[in-house]
């Protein structure tokens, strides 16, 4: 028989609370972005069921004295001059970008009938975006309609830029995580890790909220890592109702999908190569990314994302134990 994953997390040094708080400290320092104790308790301590107030109490009483957090109101600061007001500035920028993404997603879903879900992830979803940060879009399409949808979406992104329908800072849409429905389901099974769990929970669905709830329910292992935000997120979303796709299986669309995949996948690889050359010339190693492209997915994985993933990685031995007796 298999024990629940949260039992392994609670009994494993890999999910030690002290280690995760050290990681929070590193990330907060790197971004110069203070987190609240509630955020840390909910999203950065996988497998630990603790409230923000209890976490503040433990830190105040010196339980993690070797991690030099400074407490200001409910914030955990990483140095004396770290200013919580920077959050309000970035949150305002993120809110503007989120509104832009909402308008764009409405436009896409009206014109592209195969899109099932659009959500915003990354810095905008966390409320930490700067003016130059991309608006990362998480998109799920119907089976065998990913590349037609990508082709049309890229055209619409270009139209928005050319017509200057919005300020430049609100237009850097990046379709960094696009999957066909089946492709995402397979990929999610391979990504049982705290960063992926947190990204799913922090994502802000703009279209297809019912389907987004289905995604969370199909990946209920996320609840073992972050029970409170998982339950709150699922309850906030409408129930999923299956909609039959009348266009599925139409030969002409299947042919167009194959054609779009053939040309667009090659174009995106070349563009990624040229973009990486430019990033290297500017010494921006952490922003270098690898395009992972197949018939069922188009995902950009940056060095920065890998760094974050490794910080909260579950050792393979823990996952193997969870699948054994």
Express as a percent the part of the chain with pLDDT over 70.
Answer: 87
pTM for the predicted model, two decimal places: 0.86
Task: Please check whether residue 319 lies inside any domain of the structure.
Answer: no
Q: Are residues 71 and 118 in the same domain?
A: no
Q: Are residues 12 and 140 in the same domain?
A: no
Q: Are residues 109 and 41 in the same domain?
A: no
Q: Are residues 143 and 174 in the same domain?
A: yes
Average confidence score pLDDT of the chain: 85
Q: Are residues 60 and 146 in the same domain?
A: no
Last residue of a domain, one of 83, 101, 125: 83
Task: List the beta bridge partners of residue 290.
Answer: 301
Q: How many structural domains are present in the chain?
A: 2
Are 201 and 43 in contact by the 8 Å Cβ rule? The answer is: yes
Q: Are residues 36 and 163 in the same domain?
A: no
- Has residue 238 got a pLDDT over 70? yes
Q: Are residues 78 and 139 in the same domain?
A: no
b/e string for 288-320 if b means 16 or more Cβ within 10 A? Answer: bbebebeebbbbbebeebbebbebbebeeebee
- Per-residue pLDDT tens over the stretch 155-204: 988 887 777 766 766 678 888 899 998 888 888 878 888 999 999 999 99
Model confidence at 12, pLDDT cuts 50, 70, 90, reads: very low
Model confidence at 243, pLDDT cuts 50, 70, 90, reads: low
Q: Which domain holds residue 48?
A: 5-83
């Amino acid at each position: 028989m298999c024990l629940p994953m949260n039992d392994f997390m609670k009994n494993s040094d890999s999910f030690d609370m002290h280690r995760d708080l050290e990681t929070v400290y590193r990330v907060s320092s790197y971004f110069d972005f203070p987190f609240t104790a509630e955020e840390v308790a909910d999203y950065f301590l996988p497998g630990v069921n603790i409230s923000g107030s209890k976490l503040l109490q433990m830190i105040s009483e010196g339980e993690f004295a070797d991690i030099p957090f400074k407490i200001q109101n409910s914030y955990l600061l990483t140095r004396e001059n770290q200013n919580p007001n920077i959050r309000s500035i970035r949150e305002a920028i993120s809110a503007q970008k989120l509104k832009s993404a909402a308008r764009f997603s409405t436009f896409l879903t009206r014109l592209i009938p195969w899109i099932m879900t659009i959500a915003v992830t990354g810095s905008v979803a966390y409320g930490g975006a700067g003016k130059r940060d991309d608006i990362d879009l998480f998109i799920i399409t119907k089976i065998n309609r990913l590349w037609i949808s990508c082709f049309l979406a890229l055209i619409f992104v270009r139209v928005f830029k050319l017509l200057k329908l919005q300020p430049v800072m609100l237009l850097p849409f990046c379709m960094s995580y696009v999957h066909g429905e089946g492709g995402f389901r397979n990929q999610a099974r391979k990504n049982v890790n705290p960063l992926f769990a947190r990204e799913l929970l922090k994502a802000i669905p703009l279209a297809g909220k019912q389907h987004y709830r289905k995604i969370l329910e199909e990946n209920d292992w996320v609840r073992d890592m972050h029970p409170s935000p998982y339950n709150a997120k699922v309850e906030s979303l409408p129930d999923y109702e299956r909609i039959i796709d009348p266009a599925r299986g139409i030969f002409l669309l299947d042919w167009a999908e194959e054609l779009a995949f053939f040309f667009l996948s090659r174009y995106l690889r070349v563009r990624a190569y040229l973009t990486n050359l430019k990033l290297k010339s500017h010494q921006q190693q952490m922003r270098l990314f690898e395009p992972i492209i197949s018939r069922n997915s188009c995902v950009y994985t940056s060095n920065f994302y890998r760094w974050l993933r490794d910080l909260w990685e579950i050792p393979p031995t823990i996952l193997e134990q969870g699948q054994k007796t």
